[in-house]
Structure 1
């Protein structure tokens, strides 16, 4: 149950437009991080009265944070990276962005080729390396995962995004934040902080890409900036 709860809640705080959107929100509201926003959603906005172990697992699922306190949450943290690396490679391959041959040598040598083989190696290594009691991976597999993640950020997540698209995302997200920091948020949309800037962050960070575009269009009444590869 703890693993499931952490997995269900860990990415609730993701902003519209993924990593680009998070960068814009963080520049407007310094200190914003999607994992901490996930905790804020379940703890403050939804008042779910979750256990400390669930909240710790949600807050610390990202690899820039300390390892979660429980073994269950540590498993969720590893499972998250295993899942998104493999699915994002598959998605990028189907979209014609890259092929298996484009993957770094460390990825192909240590993680294998193809979806099934990569998952088998990573999960198998996680199980074998965790037999001593701590949830862990071998150095070679962990390093290969880091190399793969860095490659995907460069070639898929951010590398294909043009300066014009980045500017469009910034324009949309900042316009929404500025507007809702100065104008009331519809009360039927949820509970909001008394601080108007925090309320704006909570509202905008909870939008999907399409909702953000519609909201921006509703405010401007004109054309939406060209989102390029994100459109």
Structure 2
């Protein structure tokens, strides 16, 4: 298993944001991580990436414990947060070169060019990030997440702000990446889940309400509508 989560918990004051969840994710199957606002999705993702320390439980990525081996985890993980943090006063290519050098990559120029090509930023590479649309900024964030060819990708709302053409291109890229990487993506858009995901986890009030393949989930609830199943499990 590329990702193994065991009894992971995080509490803020009296509120349990994540309450003893366990799940696994494997290469070649994209996992959709769903839940209403405040359900614990982003908190879980931050714990998986090592940015947030759990109160209890463990998260293991490719054999590395996120708390005990955080440097090893950061080498094999790519993370796109929901609100992509970028240095907007930098140019696209300059920012990606900064990211490549931060990872200590060999042939950083080549890695930057490859990432730019993969996410469709060729025409924007010499522009300042500050002048880009939200959709193109999202692409810059995705480029920095994949520039070091990570084994694990964690994407929080990766298609937010994209127009229909950009959406189709980024979907295709995520599918390609998901063929040999372990990909977890969070989204509120059920069409994205249908288009991209093989497996699905629904989290509600910090606990897992569903964890299965999409087709199995539909059979279990005797419904072809993920929207309907989602509402049923999270109302």
Per the normalisation by structure 2, the TM-score is 0.33
Question: Quick check: which one's strand share is greater?
Answer: 2
Point out which structure has higher relative CO (alpha carbons under 8 A, 6+ apart). 2
Question: Quick check: which one's helix share is greater?
Answer: 1
